[in-house]
Amino acid sequence: MGELFNTILVNPITNILLFFNYIFETIRLPGAFGFSIIALTAFIRLLFHPFYKKQIDMTTKMAELKPEMDRLSKKYKNDKQRLQQEQLKLYQQKGINPAAGCLTALLQIPIFLALYQVLQKFLQNNLQTIMNQVNLSAYVDFIRVKVIDTNFFIYDLRIAPSHFKENGYHYLIIPIITAFLQYYQTKLQTPAAAPKKDVQKDNKDGKKGSEDMQQIMSGQMKVMFPLMIGYFSYILPVGLALYWNIFSLFSIVQIKLPLWRKKRALKN
């Protein structure tokens, strides 16, 4: 199973990264390997653009439906079965399939795992080991690496920010940026919670309904998930954080772009 995973995903992604590195090394671009990670991230993002777009469109539609969903929750708060029927009816009217977004997210998991394995292979401390392992995966001779420069501006992509004492406090900026970008992305992808005054009005008996619990959990996830990603970027090599941050920026732009266009159209 592991060999099949390597053949289908890990090795092709490794070769794409080697190809970008070859191009940037050929034109003598400083920080070639760092730019190769950025180019690889952009390539993967564009390749799977239809899937990401579908997921983001679904998220946007769900956010637009939030007021109507809240209205249904209030109207049928004592009849859970009727509430589910009305919610399903609303989804069908708007052409929304909530399960489709989950399926798209599941399809992305193997890609993330493969990218992680590829970057881990490149970001080991022993450069000779890197070249030996990576070159074995190369499909053609000319993209094989003879030397690899992991320096990218003021960072060494192999170093984890957790080793900031030996390498400099500027490494601590990386997990902060990573956590912030992930927080902003999560905020954009999560519908706004209902106002607190409405929640209090619906729960005079002091008990929290399932809808309120969902809002609480959603609010916690907005904070906990970015903190978790920030922690990972603290203990893992900077190169992995670079990939994650570029990916987050693509997601943010992809979410914001339709909103900017919509605002511009309304102004005109």
What phi and psi, each to the nearest 5 degrees, are found at residue 236? -105, 160
- Model confidence band, residue 147 (pLDDT cutoffs 50, 70, 90): confident
Lowest mean pLDDT among 3-17, 44-58, 88-102, 146-160: 88-102
Lowest mean pLDDT among 33-47, 72-86, 92-106, 231-245: 92-106
Q: Is the pLDDT of residue 94 over 90?
A: no
**pLDDT for res 35:** 96
- Print burial letters for 46-80: b (CB count within 10 Å at least 16), e (below 16): eeeeeebeebbbbbbebeebeeebbebbeebeeee
| Model confidence, pTM | 0.78
Q: Which amino acid is at 143?
A: I
Q: Where are the domains of the chain?
A: 2-267
- Model confidence band, residue 18 (pLDDT cutoffs 50, 70, 90): very high
- Asked if residues 52 and 252 have their Cβ atoms less than 8 Å apart, the reply is no
Mean pLDDT of the chain: 82
How many Å apart are CA 24 and CA 19, to the nearest integer?
9
